[in-house]
Structure 1
Amino acid sequence: MKAKLEDNTAEAKQRFESPVPELDPIMYPQSVAVIGASSAFGKWGQLILTNIVAGGFEGKIFPVNPKETSLCGLPVYKRISDIPGPVDVAFITIPAGGVPAILEECGRKGIKGVVLITSGFSETGSEGAALEREITEICKRWNIVLIGPNTMGIISSYAKLFATGTHTRPRPGGVAFVSQSGNLGNQLVHWASQQGIGISQFIGSGNEAMLGCADYLEYLEQDENARIIMLYMENVGDGRRLLSVARRVNQKKPVIVLKGGRTSAGKAAAASHTGSMGGEFLIFRAACRQAGILNVDAPAELLDLSAGFSSLPIPKGDRVGIVTLGGGWGVVTADACNENGLRVPDIPEQIVERLNKYLPPFWSKRNPLDLVGTRDTEVPIVAVEELLKWDGIDAVISLGIIGRTELVRLLVNSTRRVDPTASAEVLDEIEGFVEKY
């Protein structure tokens, strides 16, 4: 029996690790089933079904629940076998104890993919881990691709498939996000949506019983909709394979990683909520640097970098020009560039001479370009354009300039409050101008 299990493990490894995992039926399905679909507000079966329907999924939707007859205007099927026609992916929301039997039904139905929302597996201890091994073996036997268990779901924006508990529906875009924490991942997707960052896919990988981050990276490497890949990881798993895959993928599209469980407290928290164990962070960070993978320290940094990569071209080199309205901004930005291996070269005399026409004699005359709080709205534009035309740099950072609209608004409000002689017409015109421009 032991030898047979080892053989099965080897076959599964070959099937799901080398070639690319067959995730298209899950991420771009023609038909979905929600097993455990419910009318009870706030239950997972209700959250997933209503999100899929409200999100405008254009394929077939099959709710399954023996106690219901109709949900969201759709007929409900008592058993999986009652569903007419094929099903690409099943979202399972029933209690953990019933999952093995349901997976057997999915296998007999020919369902190609399962997203297992249900918790109560390896994150709960030894009994849950044994149940997780059992369901994984069932999926391997039926050739079912499994995401989860203990996942908050997936999003595939280009397929109009929004299948998470949080009803955030980001616009389609170039950022793919794989997260071992469903809650953190969904929050970041929501914030990204608020900031206008387009999302191609979100995958809550959960306990990763079958597929890990390396598998998702291999899949997203092939997906043209995914142009930037973000990872939130607590458990590295096979670190050598992960970094090998990430290094290759990073040659085609940026890979950005936030590693949770960097400290002893973080490791303990990670083990309690996903059943994962964090590795040594300093080793992980050094390996990421060698592979060219961007490692960040906070969730907001994931969004900042994904916004930059998805909206701007990747610079061809490491030379940076900096334009600011105040000296302090230039100092901290130059420090950040230097600390991250970027160069801040001196600007040539001809650029200095051209900018002398617009600026007082005491301006910085070097990179960073400190525009000394000029009120001439043309000067920052001229400065940026001069740097963009110069072939001695590869990127321009402009900061300390954004926010003047708010400053003008505050000034107008103060003037209205304290100066009764101020012209209301003039103040209205100023407000209208800053709102427009």
Structure 2
Amino acid sequence: MKRQLDSIFNPGVIACIGASGREGSVGFALLHNLLDGDFKGRVYPVNPKHESIQGVTAYKKIGDLPEKADLAVIATPAHTVPGVVEECGKAGVGGLLIISAGFSEAGEAGRQMLEQITATCQQYGMRLVGPNCLGFINTAAGINASFATKMAVRGNIAFISQSGALCTSILDWAQDQNVGFSHFVSIGSMVDVGFAELIDYFGVDNETSSILIYMEALKDARKFMSAARAFARTKPIIILKAGKSQEGSQATLSHTGSIAGNDAVFDAAFQRAGIIRVDTIAQLFNCAQALATQPRPQGNRLAIVTNAGGPGVLATDYLVTRDGQLAHLSEKIIHQLNEDLPSGWSHGNPVDVLGDANAATYHQALAACLADENVDGVLAILTAQAVTDPAGAAREVVKAAANSHKPVLAVWMGESDVAEGRDVLEAGKIPHYRYPESAVDVFLRMCQYSRNLELLYETPEEVPQRFTPRKDSAWRIIRKALSAGRKHLTENEAKDLLACYAIPVGISRLATSAEEAARFAGEIGFPVAMKIVSPDVLHKTDVGGVKLNISDHAAASTAYQAILESVLSHVPAADVHGVLIEAMAKKPFELLIGAKKDAVFGPVIAFGSGGVAVEILRDTQLGLPPLNMHLSRRIIEGTRIYPLLQGYRNMPGVNLEDLAFTLTKFSYLLIDFPEIREVDINPYAADHESGIALDARILLDSFQPRRKGHPHDHLVISPYPGRYIKRITLKNGVEVMLRPIRPEDEPMETRMLENLSTETLSFRFFGKVPYVSHSFTARFTHIDYDREMAIVAEVLENGEKQMIGVVRIMADAWGENAEYAIVVADEWQGLDLGNNLTDYILEIARDKGIARIHATMLATNKRMIHMFEKRGFRIFREDPEACHAELDLEASMPFAAELPFQPI
């Protein structure tokens, strides 16, 4: 698949279909740009009306070219494009760039043409960028396959945009600002190649260090999230997302629906994927420049060095009002600054070095701040004054930053007086800005990027206790409602469903008479709450359907009659099932736990302040399932109420462990049932011991059929694949569990790697013995199950779980080819574990539709070579030290007749 995209973005032969000699036309601009650049390949104009165009021999159709084209750039009228695409397929063209417009945006006829084009591309295996786009630029190859008026400057930013008009403006701005690009792509309608494919492509491109995206809409969120999560660790992905969904901001039948707007879901998804989101074009490129030239901050504590008090105050205000921290300088550094700086310096942060500060003073102040363990980054501010040397100060900033692992940003305020200083900063790779707010904004977004990556790197704890959801019972509740033609559950049904997933709901009884109400209330224990149960009444308080603090039998009987009378007076035709009786809960915190199925990202979890003022407070954090304990805690910590939940002054907080576990269990419910459209648990009452769902509303969609082997298509992040768990017995009689790896396995894998022999480590890591660190092992345990699979072998020794081996396959972005790797602990070698792991991962690869398996090994690893040969791998000698193995899974027979992938 990479080879197919190479046909588009790195072609050797380009056909320009619709090329023109008429200046001012798109066909003229395309051919002119292709011919005018540094492209070393061949360009052939295609136009049936001309013998030559712009001095180059033209051909009547693509089939007449003297050689096969890798890329065809099409700029003909829309109605001709389907036929042109068919001709390209027959001529063996590798990929298409369709500039032409007039398809999906032009009504039903245009959509039908687009369907025909897509089908033809699939028939001939051609990839397609467009239609309705500006084109693309590859600066390294000297290709300008666009009708833009300017060629991009060469650099290391890959820019992807849904707006062609925006592209032309950015190209103009970028030339003025000397911003360089590796690739510049206008993707248009994204019929085939979209954001996910381009992230995958540029993620492995050596010319690209960061990926910038202007996004208006997202079509395949799961592919996008998979690609972004795969590369956000190594290459910053920065997105300017335009367009806020009105549909997502409209109130629905639940509190959750009214606060979980579509744009907020994009925020949650971007954070989960390690993406930086910005609000302006300037921020887009500012962040890219800073991340390309400066180390990431480890926290949000900023030191400010300035020769003017006012800009320092402005920077401080912007920092602390946006969740940054002004670094508290240590006594040691304060003492050092007292010795180095004039006596009139500010004696704190911001470090005001005074208006007459010289270049050496800047160096001393900056170096001291960078050496302080309480500082995560430094901002240097300079205003041009009578005795100021902007260029000299800039040189000292560059010198101080060169010896630091912390980010340094600069603000040289003014224009002509500081221009030379800005040039010095630019040459020294110090990001510089005209205003303090711009620099602080970049620092905070760099901090957010570091924090987002923690979601990919940090080791979450095991769930504090195992729980087994009662899926069959839960499905019976949902099926009963759907069979009755209902799209929502009654409150008692909703609570029963939550109870199937061990979410506490308390004791309740459904009374169908005043006598039962009195009796049930007494059995439960006063005081009680009483609520109408009717599929025709969603908002119970609006129709007098709730009575609280019922204190005795008589009051319960009276309340029953009053509830029925009030409800039937408001909704005469209501189907009343009865009145729910439950104990009053006395817990100090009213919280919201909810979920809403987003049109783009599927189910989204909401948590925050609850109660009757939930829409007014709007203190809610969103997250995407699946959740584990760590991710659940991050959601809780993101709310404004979190300091109170921790405990405040003399008031105890909530049991945060229990609350995080409740969110984790709640995510399992959404994973298992795509039929759930909305959930609104409000209030979820909590105290220092536990929590309880006092009210619950659940809305349903129609039954969602599950594809065989793909039960979680409704999620954008693949959950833990429990169906790949099985047990085997080794030659020595020891029972071993084979299961997919979890993020929680990092400590166990670390212990295994630390105890491997030098030879085993050398075989696994091709002659190198790695330093086993957190960042090293996190890469192996935090995986995307859509594109990677690792099966661990786990045994129980002396009551403790031990990892004794792991095998993995890492698929390419398109799931066609996968790289194989294996390691078995030394004391467990020779017991058939490696064979079992290998056969099982090959079964899983077939189940996932992978076509080929590749592996590289040292030529001295005879045991591995023998194992591959026994399974039909072809072995190639790459060099004197290494061999390559390849297995065609489609042609080879599986080693297991059945693939019984079911959870145990």
Question: TM-score, normalising length from structure 2?
Answer: 0.40
CA contact 1:21–1:218 (8 Å) conserved in 2: no
1:19-30 paired onto structure 2 within 5 Å: 22-30=4-12
Q: Give the CA deviation at 1:233.
A: 0.8
Q: Deviations over 1:230-275 (max 9, x none)?
A: 111111112233223212211111010111112659x9xxxxxxxx
Q: Aligned pair 1:367/2:342, yes or no?
A: no
Residues 50 and 365 (structure 1), Cα distance of their counterparts in 2 relative to 1, 3 Å cut? same
Q: Give the CA deviation at 1:221.
A: 1.4
Aligned partners of 1:60, 1:222: CA distance in 2, in Å? 26
Residues 288 and 334 (structure 1), Cα distance of their counterparts in 2 relative to 1, 3 Å cut? farther
Aligned partners of 2:109, 2:161: CA distance in 1, in Å? 25
Aligned partners of 1:90, 1:37: CA distance in 2, in Å? 11
Aligned partners of 1:286, 1:436: CA distance in 2, in Å? 38
1:331-370 paired onto structure 2 within 5 Å: 331-338=313-320, 342-357=324-339, 359-370=341-352
Q: Give the CA deviation at 1:92.
A: 0.5
Q: Deviations over 1:114-153 (max 9, x none)?
A: 1100000112223222221111111111111000000100
For 2:41, the equivalent position in structure 1 comes to: 59
Long gaps (5+) in structure 2: 250-260, 391-416, 425-904
- Which SS does the other structure have where 1:119 is aligned? coil
Aligned partners of 1:404, 1:86: CA distance in 2, in Å? 65
Residues 238 and 63 (structure 1), Cα distance of their counterparts in 2 relative to 1, 3 Å cut? same
CA contact 1:21–1:215 (8 Å) conserved in 2: no
For 2:88, the equivalent position in structure 1 comes to: 106
For 1:39, the equivalent position in structure 2 comes to: 21
Q: Give the CA deviation at 1:113.
A: 0.7
Residues 373 and 295 (structure 1), Cα distance of their counterparts in 2 relative to 1, 3 Å cut? same
Residues 434 and 141 (structure 1), Cα distance of their counterparts in 2 relative to 1, 3 Å cut? closer
Aligned partners of 1:72, 1:28: CA distance in 2, in Å? 23
Residues 159 and 314 (structure 1), Cα distance of their counterparts in 2 relative to 1, 3 Å cut? farther
CA contact 1:65–1:79 (8 Å) conserved in 2: yes
Q: Deviations over 1:296-332 (max 9, x none)?
A: 1111211111222233333455443322233343334
Aligned partners of 1:102, 1:286: CA distance in 2, in Å? 42
CA contact 1:172–1:198 (8 Å) conserved in 2: yes
Aligned partners of 1:344, 1:212: CA distance in 2, in Å? 41
CA contact 2:149–2:168 (8 Å) conserved in 1: no
RMSD over aligned Cα, in angstroms?
2.9
Residues 172 and 313 (structure 1), Cα distance of their counterparts in 2 relative to 1, 3 Å cut? farther
CA contact 2:38–2:141 (8 Å) conserved in 1: no
Q: Deviations over 1:170-216 (max 9, x none)?
A: 23221101111111123223322322222011111100011221121
Residues 306 and 111 (structure 1), Cα distance of their counterparts in 2 relative to 1, 3 Å cut? same
Quote the sequence identity (%).
34
The one-letter amino acid of 1:54's match is D
Residues 345 and 432 (structure 1), Cα distance of their counterparts in 2 relative to 1, 3 Å cut? closer
Residues 145 and 340 (structure 1), Cα distance of their counterparts in 2 relative to 1, 3 Å cut? farther
Aligned partners of 1:321, 1:216: CA distance in 2, in Å? 38
For 2:364, the equivalent position in structure 1 comes to: 382
CA contact 1:321–1:396 (8 Å) conserved in 2: yes
For 1:420, the equivalent position in structure 2 comes to: none
Q: 2:208 aligns with which of 226, 229, 240?
A: 226
Q: Give the CA deviation at 1:363.
A: 2.5
Aligned partners of 1:321, 1:373: CA distance in 2, in Å? 18
Residues 436 and 260 (structure 1), Cα distance of their counterparts in 2 relative to 1, 3 Å cut? closer
Q: Aligned pair 1:171/2:153, yes or no?
A: yes
Residues 391 and 408 (structure 1), Cα distance of their counterparts in 2 relative to 1, 3 Å cut? closer
Q: Deviations over 1:379-420 (max 9, x none)?
A: 223322323344543432223x16679x999xxxxxxxxxxx
Aligned partners of 1:97, 1:404: CA distance in 2, in Å? 65
Q: Aligned pair 1:290/2:290, yes or no?
A: no
The one-letter amino acid of 1:96's match is A
- Which SS does the other structure have where 1:302 is aligned? helix
Q: 2:225 aligns with which of 243, 268, 273?
A: 243
Residues 369 and 30 (structure 1), Cα distance of their counterparts in 2 relative to 1, 3 Å cut? same
CA contact 1:53–1:72 (8 Å) conserved in 2: no
Q: Aligned pair 1:88/2:65, yes or no?
A: no
Q: Give the CA deviation at 1:112.
A: 0.5
Residues 329 and 433 (structure 1), Cα distance of their counterparts in 2 relative to 1, 3 Å cut? closer
Residues 404 and 54 (structure 1), Cα distance of their counterparts in 2 relative to 1, 3 Å cut? farther
Aligned partners of 2:384, 2:274: CA distance in 1, in Å? 34
Aligned partners of 1:230, 1:432: CA distance in 2, in Å? 28
For 1:217, the equivalent position in structure 2 comes to: 199
The one-letter amino acid of 1:371's match is V
Q: Give the CA deviation at 1:436.
A: 9.5
For 2:262, the equivalent position in structure 1 comes to: 280
Aligned partners of 1:198, 1:433: CA distance in 2, in Å? 21
Aligned partners of 1:300, 1:323: CA distance in 2, in Å? 24
- Which SS does the other structure have where 2:80 is aligned? helix
Q: Aligned pair 1:208/2:187, yes or no?
A: no
- Structure with higher strand content: 2
CA contact 1:133–1:209 (8 Å) conserved in 2: no
Q: Aligned pair 1:120/2:102, yes or no?
A: yes
The one-letter amino acid of 1:194's match is D
Residues 436 and 143 (structure 1), Cα distance of their counterparts in 2 relative to 1, 3 Å cut? closer
Aligned partners of 2:374, 2:366: CA distance in 1, in Å? 13
Aligned partners of 1:126, 1:82: CA distance in 2, in Å? 33
Aligned partners of 1:286, 1:338: CA distance in 2, in Å? 23
Q: Deviations over 1:45-69 (max 9, x none)?
A: 1111111111121110101111222
Aligned partners of 2:2, 2:33: CA distance in 1, in Å? 29
Q: 1:70 aligns with which of 36, 52, 60?
A: 52
The one-letter amino acid of 1:238's match is D
CA contact 2:100–2:131 (8 Å) conserved in 1: yes
Residues 137 and 395 (structure 1), Cα distance of their counterparts in 2 relative to 1, 3 Å cut? same
Q: Aligned pair 1:138/2:87, yes or no?
A: no
Structure 1 range deviating more: 41-50 or 307-316 = 307-316
CA contact 2:159–2:213 (8 Å) conserved in 1: yes
- Which SS does the other structure have where 1:173 is aligned? strand
- Which SS does the other structure have where 1:177 is aligned? strand
CA contact 2:384–2:418 (8 Å) conserved in 1: no
Residues 343 and 436 (structure 1), Cα distance of their counterparts in 2 relative to 1, 3 Å cut? closer
Aligned partners of 2:356, 2:198: CA distance in 1, in Å? 49
Residues 340 and 244 (structure 1), Cα distance of their counterparts in 2 relative to 1, 3 Å cut? farther
Aligned partners of 2:149, 2:239: CA distance in 1, in Å? 25
- Which SS does the other structure have where 2:305 is aligned? strand
Residues 149 and 343 (structure 1), Cα distance of their counterparts in 2 relative to 1, 3 Å cut? same
For 1:129, the equivalent position in structure 2 comes to: 111
Residues 336 and 132 (structure 1), Cα distance of their counterparts in 2 relative to 1, 3 Å cut? farther
Structure 1 range deviating more: 300-309 or 115-124 = 300-309
The one-letter amino acid of 1:311's match is T
Structure 1 range deviating more: 121-130 or 355-364 = 355-364
Question: TM-score, normalising length from structure 1?
Answer: 0.80
Q: Give the CA deviation at 1:106.
A: 0.6
1:181-192 paired onto structure 2 within 5 Å: 181-192=163-174
Long gaps (5+) in structure 1: 1-18, 268-278, 410-429
Q: Aligned pair 1:302/2:280, yes or no?
A: no
Aligned partners of 1:344, 1:215: CA distance in 2, in Å? 41
CA contact 1:123–1:207 (8 Å) conserved in 2: no
Aligned partners of 1:228, 1:404: CA distance in 2, in Å? 37
